[in-house]
Structure 1
Amino acid sequence: MTNVLILGAHGKIARLATQQLLEKPVHLTLFLRDANRLKVTDKNKETIIEGDATSAADLDLAMQDIDVVYANLSGHNIVEEAKAVVASMDRCGVKRLIWISTLGIYDEVPGEFGQWNHKMLDGGYLETYATAAEVIEDSDLGYTIIRPAWLTDNDEIDYEVTHKGDPFKGTEVSRESIAAVVTDHVLNPDKDVRYSIGVNKPHTDGPKPSWY
């Protein structure tokens, strides 16, 4: 059974991935700041740990016997979190990391949509997420960085993938789809190792997401 640590386990994508992964032969350690925000649905397959993703002690405790780390972290301190996660994984001998980032960190979004994306995300967000990705890429971990398009809550799994160096495709994708990508990489740990992948819903090209 694969032991998976989910950092930021209360996030929307993380909760969807948890639902998908509970149907698979895995054990989930759900790590979040406030343990009261989650409830165990299968005590044989889930453990909840309360902690801070910038705390070496909290992370090291959560990393014990873990095979795969899935980081669903966010916020102004994402660079600090990235550094702490990499350091803890190094100390604890955990090698496989799935890291959620965002589109645009390599200035890879072309055309009018790329200009719109910069207008929406420049000024701190793209810059910090790009720096956090650099921390991951500069490590010796077996990482996969996932760069979603703008996210929807549509109940669908429909996506395509681009790689670092390719122009980003599409403008949007469902959180359910990103959770499916995470699940796929947890179950296939040799997939896309040391790659950064963009994920979008096919045929959603345009100047901005459909709801704007």
Structure 2
Amino acid sequence: MSNVLILGAHGQIARLARTQLLQETDHHLTLFLRNAKRIQDANPQREQVVDGDATNVAQLTAAMQDIDVVYANLGNAHIEDQAQAVVTAMNQAGIKRLIWISTLGIYDEVPGAFGKWNHQMLDGGYLEHYAAAAKIIEASDLDYTIIRPAWLSNRDVVNYETTEKGEPFKGTEVSRKSIAAYVVKLINDPTQEVRHSVGVNQPHTDGSKPSFY
């Protein structure tokens, strides 16, 4: 059993990962989010809900006591501040293992027409902030895994393949359920993909843009 802290616990991927962790593991979960009253179904035997701000180092550090793995499902205009706060808090709490959700394109690794489309859709603040946040994580001494999903769908399927930093990104899309399953896999075996940045896509989805656009 591990003690897992989920930052941004009300996010769509985080909720899927939480459900899978409760159903398939005996891990204890600490659910950290703003407006914690949004979570009404916490299991008191296995879950603790913490209302907090992921840019607040003191709140993060307090939530990290006795935690084994931090899974950060964060994302907004403050992603750089969140990354720095998470790194600082983990160092203060003496925790090493971090699973960090990012996005495709932060290394300009998406080739061809899809790469051009991805820039058109995400340039102007989004990609730049996520790239800067990833640099903060990579500059730390944490045992991180950065996950770079393709464009996300709500399809009820778990089917994915991965690429490493330095390799061209594959495919155009992936289901949130697939990303959640990959997160759970890393939580269950935290020795995998340590200090790696991993692209995740559904096989055979190559094209100039995702099928739902």
TM-score (normalizing by structure 1): 0.99
- Whether 2:118 is the aligned partner of 1:123: answer no
AA partner of residue 6 (structure 1):
I
Residue in 2 aligned with 1:36? 37
Residue in 1 aligned with 2:6? 6
Residue in 2 aligned with 1:168? 169
- Whether 2:96 is the aligned partner of 1:95: answer yes
Distance 2:212 2:49 in 1: 36
Task: Give the secondary structure class of the aligned counterpart of 1:22.
Answer: helix
AA partner of residue 91 (structure 1):
Q
Unaligned runs of 5+ in 2: none
Task: Give the secondary structure class of the aligned counterpart of 1:18.
Answer: helix
Contact conserved, 1:6 with 1:70, CA < 8 A, in 2? yes
* Identical residues among aligned pairs (%): 65
Q: Give per-residue Cα distances to partners, 1:142-167, cap 9 Å, x unaligned.
A: 00000000000001100000000010
Residue in 2 aligned with 1:201? 202
Pick closer, same or farther for the CA change 1:41–1:59 going to 2, 3 Å: closer
TM-score (normalizing by structure 2): 0.98
Residue in 2 aligned with 1:16? 16
Distance 1:107 1:143 in 2: 20
Unaligned runs of 5+ in 1: none
Root mean square deviation, CA, Å? 0.6
Residue in 2 aligned with 1:155? 156
Distance 2:104 2:198 in 1: 9
Task: Give the secondary structure class of the aligned counterpart of 1:185.
Answer: helix
AA partner of residue 8 (structure 1):
G
Q: Give per-residue Cα distances to partners, 1:28-66, cap 9 Å, x unaligned.
A: 000001111112342111110000001111101100000
Instruction: Figure out how many residues of one structure are paired with residues of the other and give that number.
Output: 212
AA partner of residue 140 (structure 1):
D
